[in-house]
Structure 1
């Protein structure tokens, strides 16, 4: 992030809690965020083997209401919002008019004429302007509630077991992508069985003013705080794309395997998305040398693409990466990645790299 303009970093409602916990803070998309507490590997392992929690309060929340709320969302997104029943959530895309994605988002249906949209933190202003511009004659209203919410992601195979004693809601009855009102530790919340780690879990929407108290309660039941570092290695192992890396305004979204997000319906940017992408997203495994975003990828001695995300995998024990490569080279088995002028062998590996069970 370029801080040359000296713009002050924004803080989530949990900023003081992170400082008390000794977190190492870093700039991230305009926010001052914890990158790690005890250490990336320990936090990653806690989520894979038990339960951890992340501050994702920097994400944006937009509420969409009115008689045309569904119709409006059908037009500005690629997935089929009409399939959502109240109490259900859906991964979705905001396509651009002429290419790429404005953002990848989650939509939660609260009622027949009410939806909540969660957007990426670095895209809040851009997404808001885009949605306002597309509202047109739709009988729908948009409200930006981003500053009203704290959002804590509780992730890991023991998430339900850890939370259940502290809520009257039957968490075992909540299927993946469920979204419902509940009381947790005596506080009014909304719970979503969603997450970004490849593990089971719940995202806890809590009033911003109560977020720190909720965080402390979760610490008290043994949840391990995890920072941006572990969040990135967890999502990379799970093969989840990250906006600004695998998705952007200029990357064809169908370069990934997420073709299921585009349904046959009228939506913004449909003509562009229907065109075949010239690049494809692949997974790569290396033996020893970790690779990072921007490193060149070669096949048969020819430059064919670029690493979009890469790290050492704590779960698998070796470096992994995702890369966008020319479509004609995407089915090759052997590649090379250039690191500081030297090429290192890499083999194509299916996505996701890790999946529980």
Structure 2
């Protein structure tokens, strides 16, 4: 790890004798100059850190004064300790800035003390220069190991939380019980909102949209197992968005998105399922707000059943010529929608009211009393609406 130094026995003994006191000075300097550690190093923790610093300094002297294999073993232990320190800093939520500052301040403090002792015991100017080079090279290597450990821990914890959040989103879409959802939210350190809204949008737009939404927004993208019952949605992403619905709709204004109803967070499956149905029905362009398409969603929920209902409603017209059948079907639909108002029906169909009178006579002949039956009127409105 470093080039071996040549100390006399007297110099090495004097330097090692300073280590316990030096450990105290290093910890005190770090506490005074690095705010992030001023509280962390108090009390019992401070004593533990002081012991660790003393051992690290002793390890340094083992490395720079030991031959070959012994130095390599000691260096391996020091590298591992520095790496673990970086990981610990990441777990504690501190950035590498604090640790880098601690290394710099601690090394400067230790160097001032060690260089003075070494010179007092006869270390030459040339030896002092070599000593300084080794000390600060040692600092750079320790910092590098800690930085690697910090980065690895951040990546690992980030990947872990991403998996936990994806697991939570999957459970929400899958309609898991509230107790399990709460457990998964706690594991992912995710604070549940009161309400969630499911949004399905193209993969290409998902990242930019998500960046301006509530930070608690959950997402699943592409052909993942949770979406297989809905065809996989390979070209789409699903977002579960906290917050106010009007704000969400404004955010999505220029996006080809389908927005489900806003529901309690544990009922997110219902919002997603409605959005998925609306997507499959291709109800329009741009933002599809399912709250504005409830009738269409009801009518089109089972296309086969609707076709069967339409066939049954129009059965009395089945034997007519195609052109006549189409005109009477169009008239029956207008009659239902305009609640029998002849002038409104005529205006909607661009024909004379007398024509409507004639056609309604034909419909009454075909349907008889069914036109007065509320159940038939309901079925016909659904079938032809």
Class of the TM-score when normalised by the shorter of the 2 chains = under 0.3
Q: Using structure 1 for the length normalisation, give the TM-score.
A: 0.23
Q: Which has the larger radius of gyration?
A: 2
Q: Considering fraction of residues, name the structure with more strand.
A: 1
